[in-house]
Structure 1
Amino acid sequence: MTDEEVLAEFRASKALLEGHFLLSSGRHSAHYLQCARVLMNPNRAARLAVALAARLPHDIRKQVGKVVSPAMGGVVIGQEMGRALQVDAMFVERPTGTFELRRGFALEPGDKVLLVEDVVTTGLSSREAIKAIEEAGGKVIAAVSLVDRSAGAAELGVPFFPLVALNFPTYAADELPPELAGTPAVKPGSRALS
């Protein structure tokens, strides 16, 4: 899938929003990607997962034994990546603020894990998920996401393969451009601010 084909999937599902948004990272943006919308159609989610799996180098793809994604945003694409790679998919969640495996999910010591995200902005959630996976005995060998919003700056500590990189500018609250400063920010995501 080309970048334009990926963006066409976001546009078709009305998942690419424009306005003034407060991101989970605490930064502001004139654009927001609502990945839940792009993934709500199972056929579209499967197409995106197959395209994402194809971005993985063959030597990494053949090593993946499990897929783990952070809840909530990564659950659907994580499940579809498990299907595309024909491996089990599970997720970590934050019942008390720190990622952990629950619901009977477990990793065997040394399991080679692919971390699957919907969007990476700063990389903080990914690093926290990787830490939880490794504490549970897994070895994260790579990470993928539908979208890299970090402008290539996210350092995850493992090879990272996004499906598409979108470099919409983000701003701290004290550096908003006039077109955003004059409008109230909407927090469209579901996660509390970091």
Structure 2
Amino acid sequence: GPTTGGIILAFEVARQLGVRGIFAEKEGAQQRAFRRGFNINSGERVLIVDDILTTGDSIRQVMVAVTNKGGIVIGIGVLVDRTEQAIEFGVPLFNCLRSATLTYQPQECPLCAKQIPLVKPGGG
């Protein structure tokens, strides 16, 4: 799974399935990489697990990291899918809860238009 919210869920899903769990860390702004001794073997089948799906960017980055190592993404599992419209990843997507949440591009953000500062949870 992607860091950081998906790590605990990904490892527990792996434990329940009796397989190993690993995670991909951010590497720059748009990429993920396997570090800390984690790696994907060529031909290895991978289920990507994350806590929240909003834009799909983190999952796409992990998909690229997996395929760059020769792995095969067979599916995606998320705890909460809060996309407004379904995202197509090319593999099955499973969720425990689907709850569409409004998201805005910066130029469309009503709080930005009112000059109300945005706060990233946990980030200040």
TM-score, structure 1 as length reference: 0.56
Question: For residue 61 of structure 2, what is the aligned residue in structure 1?
Answer: 128
Instruction: Give 2:19's aligned residue.
Output: 87
Q: CA deviation at 1:152?
A: 3.8
Shift of 1:182: 6.7
- Report the RMSD for the aligned CA atoms in angstroms: 2.0
Are 2:75 and 1:75 equivalent residues in the alignment?
Answer: no
- Counterpart code for 2:71: G
Partner SS, residue 65 of structure 2: helix
Please say which of residues 152-161 and 129-138 is displaced more in the overlay: 152-161
Residues 79, 149 of structure 1: CA spacing in aligned structure 2 closer, same or farther, 3 A cutoff? same
1:96 to 7, 10, 28: 28
Report whether the alignment pairs 1:145 with 2:88: no
Higher RCO, Cα 8 Å, sep 6+: 1
SS in 1 for 2:47: strand
Partner of residue 97 from structure 2, selected from 164, 168, 185: 164
Q: 1:64-117: per-residue Cα shift (whole Å, max 9, x none)? A: xxxxx0111211111111111111000011243421111111222111110001
CA distance in 1, matches of 2:59, 2:77: 10
Asked whether the equivalents of residues 151 and 165 of structure 1 are also in contact (C-alpha less than 8 Å), the reply is no
CA distance in 1 between counterparts of 2:38 and 2:47 reads: 15
What code does the residue aligned with 1:149 have?
R
Q: Which runs of 5+ in 1 are unaligned?
A: 1-68
**Partners of 1:99 and 1:153 in 2: how far apart?**
23
State the percentage of identical aligned residues: 39
Counterpart position of 1:119: 52
Q: Distance in 2 between matches of 1:94 and 1:171?
A: 23
Q: Which has the higher helix share?
A: 1
Distance (Å, rounded) in 1 between the aligned partners of 2:14 and 2:43: 18
Q: Structure 2: which 5+ runs fail to align?
A: none
TM-score, reference length from structure 2: 0.85
Where does 1:28-107 land on structure 2 (aligned, <5 Å)? 69-97=1-29, 98-107=31-40
